[in-house]
Amino acid sequence: MTKPLLGCIADDFTGATDLANNLVRAGMRTIQTIGVPATLSPLDADAIVVALKSRTIPAAEAVAQSLAAYAWLRDQGVTQVYFKYCSTFDSTPKGNIGPVTDALLDAIHGEGKGFTIVCPAFPENHRTLFNGHLFVGEQLLSDSGMRHHPLTPMTDANLVRVMQAQTKRQVGLVPHRIVAQGPAAIREAFEALEASGVGIAVVDAVSNADLISMGQALADTSLVTAGSGVAIGLPQNWQAKGLLQKQHRADLLPPAMGHKAVISGSCSMATNAQVAHWQQSKLPSFLIDPIALAKNDQIEKDAAEWAKANLAKGPVLIYATAPPDQVQAIQQQLGIAAAGELVEQALSRIAATLVEAGVRQLVVAGGETSGAVVQALGVQRMTIGPQIDPGVPWTAVKSPLSNGEPLHMALKSGNFGTVDFFQKAFDCLGVAHA
Ligand code: ADP
């Protein structure tokens, strides 16, 4: 039994998995919990990620949930806390990144005290930060598609300014020319900024080497706020202190067993291509038509029966995935929210029936769809395993529906994964535990 070293609070579900995936790749055995666990029973992991859905809820609620997560993590004995937000810094002047950061610093260091960083950079995913300005690929954040986001439009790429509008603390900058000089220079810059009254420093990073230097400079910082990128530089600190084994295989899961299925409720371009590729490979699939579903629930029963009859032969796919013109026509007929809810509920009930029928390797496509399925299966925590494609690891979970047996799940958010993702997922699990 290992005591957790790092405690993370993530402001959305797939972002939590993305962070957990980076921690596992950097050598930390990681468990992700769905919300704040009800009990304090200790978890055997090097890092714990508490997944919240607090990105766009009212700031006061985001603060309350984040503080509850912090209190739970502190009681687990973690030595460092990591507040994880989106790599495009999704937020408004009202929050929630600033208010949550202030509340966590207040809780850890006392009202108005303490020091932390801001760094959404994730160079591997083309999010870089230079002279305090966030770039998405080669564009400034404010020139990227994020300027049209329906909930959190990002119209200013200068994160010192963006953060200053959300926090009561003074915001400063550690520019790239200092980051490039390495950990000692970064640490000196932190000390100088803190001495001058700065409570939050935006730190530049354009490469993984910058994240590694930054990670070293953060060894004794109680609170880190960042995207998932900064996580790759932290494990070395515990390794240097002998608290975490080097070359530790952090992605080991129990052996996979049972039947295999894919449930797809994502209508993104990538998922449409993945479903088409599955069908071109002559693998069995069943379409859930939302219009038929809205008339009665026979199609849901038919899908479950069809799957049960085919499971023994190999993996099956049940999907509502459709191209944009069809989705639009369905939404016009049923309403956008109603169509989404109808499909999510049907797919999650089908997932539950499949697990009861012996499916133990389940791939789910779609962020919202994944949330609905995880809820229907009664999953409370996930142990993070090997990466299938960037941002999507296999996980092992416990479900009251899986007869006491381990259930392996991969949750793929919309645009992730190569065209052969579904087949690759099952192959990779088979190989990892052959
Ligand atoms: P993504 O990660 O690609 O955004 P989500 O699961 O988050 O996927 O969102 C897709 C939404 O579209 C879900 O609410 C799902 O129920 C809904 N949906 C799936 N198929 C259809 C369809 N054929 N018509 C309309 N809505 C659909």
Instruction: For residue 400, report the distance from its CA to the centre of ligand 1, in Å.
Output: 26
Enumerate residues 6+ apart whose C-beta is below 8 A from 296: none
* CATH number for 73: 3.40.50.10840
Instruction: For residue 365, report the distance from its CA to the centre of ligand 1, in Å.
Output: 9
Q: What is the mean pLDDT of residues 359-374?
A: 93
Query: Closest residue (by CA) to atom 12 of ligand 1?
Result: 340
User: Looking at the predicted structure, is the pLDDT value of residue 247 above 80?
Assistant: no
| Ligand 1 neighbourhood includes 413 CB (under 6 angstroms) | yes
Q: Please report the pLDDT score of residue 268 as a whole number.
A: 87
Residue 222 domain-assigned (yes or no)? yes
Of 240, 267, 282, the domain-final residue: 240
Work out the number of other CB atoms within 10 angstroms of the CB of residue 24: 26
Find the domain containing 207 and state its range: 6-240
Q: Please report the pLDDT score of residue 427 as a whole number.
A: 94
| Ligand 1 neighbourhood includes 368 CB (under 6 angstroms) | yes
Instruction: For residue 271, report the distance from its CA to the centre of ligand 1, in Å.
Output: 10
| Ligand 1 neighbourhood includes 50 CB (under 6 angstroms) | no
| Ligand 1 neighbourhood includes 339 CB (under 6 angstroms) | yes
Q: Give percent helix, percent strand, percent coil of the chain, each to the nearest 5.
A: 45, 20, 35
| Ligand 1 neighbourhood includes 290 CB (under 6 angstroms) | yes
* CATH number for 402: 3.40.980.20
* Atom from ligand 1 closest to the CA of residue 415: 3
| Ligand 1 neighbourhood includes 344 CB (under 6 angstroms) | yes
Enumerate residues 6+ apart whose C-beta is below 8 A from 40: 72, 75, 76
| Ligand 1 neighbourhood includes 234 CB (under 6 angstroms) | no
126-159: pLDDT as tens digits: 899 999 999 999 999 999 888 887 778 899 999 9
Examine the domain organization and report whether 226 and 320 are in the same domain: no
Handedness of CA 367, 369, 370, 372 (dihedral sign): positive
Examine the domain organization and report whether 180 and 300 are in the same domain: no
Of 189, 212, 240, the domain-final residue: 240
DSSP three-state, residue 156: coil
The percent of residues above 90 in pLDDT, for the chain, comes to 81
The percent of residues above 70 in pLDDT, for the chain, comes to 98
Examine the domain organization and report whether 332 and 401 are in the same domain: yes
Residue 397 domain-assigned (yes or no)? yes
Query: Closest residue (by CA) to atom 4 of ligand 1?
Result: 414
Examine the domain organization and report whether 176 and 66 are in the same domain: yes
The residue that leads in pLDDT, 1 or 425, is 425
Examine the domain organization and report whether 308 and 236 are in the same domain: no
Work out the number of other CB atoms within 10 angstroms of the CB of residue 318: 24
Q: Please report the pLDDT score of residue 269 as a whole number.
A: 87
Work out the number of other CB atoms within 10 angstroms of the CB of residue 387: 17
Residue 94: which of 57, 148, 141, 132 has the closest Cα? Answer: 57
Query: Closest residue (by CA) to atom 10 of ligand 1?
Result: 266
Of 240, 272, 296, the domain-final residue: 240
Examine the domain organization and report whether 342 and 398 are in the same domain: yes
* pLDDT band with cut points at 50, 70 and 90 for residue 433: very low
Residue 253 domain-assigned (yes or no)? no
211-243: pLDDT as tens digits: 999 999 999 999 999 999 999 999 999 999 999
Examine the domain organization and report whether 267 and 367 are in the same domain: yes
Residue 283 domain-assigned (yes or no)? yes
Q: Please report the pLDDT score of residue 391 as a whole number.
A: 81
| Ligand 1 neighbourhood includes 317 CB (under 6 angstroms) | no
* Atom from ligand 1 closest to the CA of residue 268: 3
Q: Across all residues in the chain, what is the average pLDDT? A: 93
Query: Closest residue (by CA) to atom 11 of ligand 1?
Result: 340
Examine the domain organization and report whether 220 and 346 are in the same domain: no
| Ligand 1 neighbourhood includes 350 CB (under 6 angstroms) | no
Choice from 343, 392, 415 to test ligand 1 binding pocket (greatest atom count within 8 A of CB):
343
User: Looking at the predicted structure, is the pLDDT value of residue 434 above 60?
Assistant: no
Examine the domain organization and report whether 16 and 145 are in the same domain: yes
| Ligand 1 neighbourhood includes 318 CB (under 6 angstroms) | no
User: Looking at the predicted structure, is the pLDDT value of residue 248 above 90?
Assistant: no
Q: Please report the pLDDT score of residue 151 as a whole number.
A: 78
Q: What is the mean pLDDT of residues 73-79?
A: 95
Q: What is the mean pLDDT of residues 348-375?
A: 95
| Ligand 1 neighbourhood includes 293 CB (under 6 angstroms) | no
**Number of domains into which the chain is organized:** 2
Examine the domain organization and report whether 31 and 166 are in the same domain: yes
Examine the domain organization and report whether 234 and 297 are in the same domain: no
Q: Please report the pLDDT score of residue 282 as a whole number.
A: 97
Residue 250 domain-assigned (yes or no)? no
Per-residue burial over 138-148, b if 16 or more Cβ lie within 10 Å, else e, is eebbbebebee
The residue that leads in pLDDT, 212 or 12, is 212
Instruction: For residue 266, report the distance from its CA to the centre of ligand 1, in Å.
Output: 5
Residue 245 domain-assigned (yes or no)? no
| Ligand 1 neighbourhood includes 78 CB (under 6 angstroms) | no
User: Looking at the predicted structure, is the pLDDT value of residue 13 above 80?
Assistant: yes
| Ligand 1 neighbourhood includes 346 CB (under 6 angstroms) | no
| Ligand 1 neighbourhood includes 371 CB (under 6 angstroms) | no
Residue 1 domain-assigned (yes or no)? no
271-310: pLDDT as tens digits: 999 999 999 999 999 999 999 999 988 999 999 999 999 9
The residue that leads in pLDDT, 401 or 41, is 401
Examine the domain organization and report whether 405 and 265 are in the same domain: yes
CA angle 39–405–10, rounded 5-degree value? 45
| Range in 26-30, 109-113, 156-160, 280-284 the model is least confident about | 26-30
